[in-house]
Amino acid sequence: MCAPQLYKTKAKVVGGTKQINIEKIKALRPDIILCNKEENTEDIVIACEAIAPVHVSDIFNLEDSLELIAQYGIMFNKKKTAQNLIHNIRSEYVFFKKWVEHEMVYNTIYFIWKSPWMVAANNTFVNYMLQLNKFKNYYRDQVRYPEIKLKENKEVELVLLSSEPYPFKEAHKKELQAFYPKAKLLLVDGEMFSWYGSRLKKAFTYFKSLHEHL
């Protein structure tokens, strides 16, 4: 489960995304429980529905994310704050989309895990963000997060190693370079590619900086 350190010291721990402590959740007496279709199982959602109303998000692109922010604004009586956030994110997005038009297209692999090696493919928010950056996903014909076998590939031009959920380091770049001899390998901030919501305010500035290192 990916969570900023700040929240780890303030929030009650009730388990991970796939395994929860239902009694701890009951003890908190929540008014509402937020779940995500990708992160939480159907059984978890059903168990939570016995405790409080459950909102399940399912995000694939920017519009999905902005709609979720709007929904949260209504649910938590923060409509004005949500609308301001939506406006700021959309403005950053429009500026970046115009800026990135002049950037090159790169045949790209985005790694999320090691042992087994796993990548982000189609039908994911990560894939949407790759497309936005003109990073052509090498595994766009597959879905979700497939396991792959490493083999030499001279077609790939860019390999991105995410900071989460697996914390890739410099040593992994050296390990993978032998398989992708023509590619540039970069460690990237996984939050910027996979965290929808308010994190998007920072994402587009980060992407511009990333392109400048290519």
In a domain, 71, yes or no: no
In a domain, 70, yes or no: no
Return the pLDDT at 38.
87
Residues 109 and 206 in one domain: yes
3-state secondary structure 114-163: CCCCEECCECCHHHHHHHHCCEEECCCCCECCCECCCCCCCCCCEEEEEC
57 vs 40: CA distance, rounded Å: 10
The residue-averaged pLDDT of 80-93 equals: 98
Contacts 24+ apart (CB under 8 A), 80-89: 85/198, 85/201, 88/201, 89/62, 89/65, 89/200, 89/201
Return the pLDDT at 11.
78
In a domain, 24, yes or no: yes
**One-letter identity of residue 116:** P
Structural domain range at position 179: 99-212
In a domain, 120, yes or no: yes
- pTM of the predicted model as reported, rounded to 2 decimal places: 0.89
117 vs 134: CA distance, rounded Å: 23
Residues 130 and 193 in one domain: yes
Cβ-Cβ contacts under 8 Å for 42 (sequence gap 6 or more)? none
Residues 185 and 107 in one domain: yes
Q: What percent of the chain clears pLDDT 70, i.e. is strictly above it?
A: 95
Residues 105 and 206 in one domain: yes
In a domain, 72, yes or no: no
In a domain, 46, yes or no: yes
In a domain, 5, yes or no: no
3-state secondary structure 62-106: HHHHHHHHHHHHHHCCCHHHHHHHHHHHHHHHHHHHHHHCCCCCE
pLDDT band at 143 (very low <50, low <70, confident <90, very high): very high
Residues 145 and 207 in one domain: yes
pLDDT band at 1 (very low <50, low <70, confident <90, very high): very low
Encoded tokens for 157: 């031009």
Q: What percent of the chain clears pLDDT 90, i.e. is strictly above it?
A: 88
Residues 109 and 208 in one domain: yes
Residues 41 and 137 in one domain: no
Final residue of a structural domain among 41, 58, 75: 58
In a domain, 172, yes or no: yes
Final residue of a structural domain among 27, 58, 89: 58
What's the domain count of the chain? Answer: 2
Residues 54 and 149 in one domain: no
pLDDT band at 100 (very low <50, low <70, confident <90, very high): very high
Question: Is residue 172 classed exposed, middle or buried when 0-12, 13-18 and 19+ CB atoms within 10 A define those classes?
Answer: middle
Residue 162 pLDDT greater than 60, yes or no: yes
Residue range 3-42, pLDDT digits in tens: 555 555 567 888 777 788 899 999 999 999 999 998 899 9
Residue 18 is given by DSSP the state: S
Question: Residue 126 belongs to a domain with what CATH number?
Answer: 3.40.50.1980
Residues 129 and 178 in one domain: yes
Residues 103 and 153 in one domain: yes
Residues 36 and 109 in one domain: no
